Amino acid sequence: MALCEAGVVTNARKTIDVGITIGGVIMGSDRTRRSAHRNPALQLRGTEYTHAPSVPRRIERFVAINSAVQVDLTGQVNAEAIGDTYVGAVGGVGDFLRAAQPSRGGVPVVALPSTAGPHSRIATRVSGPVTVPRSDACVIVTEYEIADLRGLSIAERIPKLIAVANPDHRERLARECVAGT
């Protein structure tokens, strides 16, 4: 809400719902809730609108930014669990990443820190469920690099994904990949 109030986010260039911020839920401080209350520039809509593939794909330059627990070297994304422990819900990650693909100028992004403690979040294999399959390839972003996987073969993805990993883990990832482990 602060960015809207400061005029940074205006929604003026959107191709649908021009000038209006569309959301599904409001979370935050009392100030945030007061700003949202009866605000004509904000509409809360149900998932039948916000997650319908036909809606976001009509937005030119639709950029879907999602987080993840892990990404493997083929581009599969785990956004739900660490091993058997669920840490997040699927939510709309797949819906939004797929909607950004056909949007003119759209970009499907998964952004994540390269590590969780001493563990690499770029892995040879995801340790939990595959939330986003490799066939829905997207742009993977860490603090080290950006890997645009769209249109790339598995062999072309591997060095790009190793490059977004923490430098302390790159050699091991390359070695495990070559060993097929």
Question: The CATH number of the domain where 83 resides is what?
Answer: 3.40.1080.20
Check whether 30 has a pLDDT greater than 70.
yes
Judge if 112 and 144 occupy the same domain. Answer: yes
Mean pLDDT of 112-138: 94
Q: CA 91 → CA 20, 61, 74, 109, distances in Å?
A: 22, 22, 22, 15
The dihedral over CA atoms of 9, 12, 15, 21, expressed in degrees to the nearest 10, equals 40
Q: Residue 132: inside a domain, yes or no?
A: yes
CA dihedral 163, 79, 99, 105 (to 10 degrees): -20
Q: Determine, yes or no, domain membership for 55.
A: no
Q: Are residues 46 and 87 in the same domain?
A: no
Q: Tell me which of 163 and 92 has the higher pLDDT.
A: 163
Determine what percent of the chain is predicted with pLDDT higher than 70: 99
Q: How many domains does the structure of the chain reveal? A: 2
Q: Does residue 57 fall inside a structural domain?
A: no
Give yes or no: residues 75 and 132 share one domain: yes
Task: Say if residue 181's pLDDT is above 60.
Answer: no
Distance of alpha carbon 123 from alpha carbon 115, whole angstroms? 10
The verdict on 46 and 66 lying in the same domain is no
- The pLDDT value recorded for residue 180 is 67
Residue 54: pLDDT band (50, 70, 90) is confident
Which structural domain range is residue 11 located in?
A: 1-50
As a whole number of angstroms, the distance between CA 176 and CA 170 comes to 10
- Taking the model in full, what pTM does it have? 0.85
56 within some domain: no
Residues 97 and 134 reside in one and the same domain? yes
127 occurs within a structural domain: yes
Helix or strand or coil: residue 2?
helix
Percent of the chain surpassing pLDDT 90: 69
- Residue 166 scores a pLDDT above 90: yes
Same domain, 174 and 113: yes
Name which of 45-54, 113-122, 145-154 the model is least confident about.
45-54
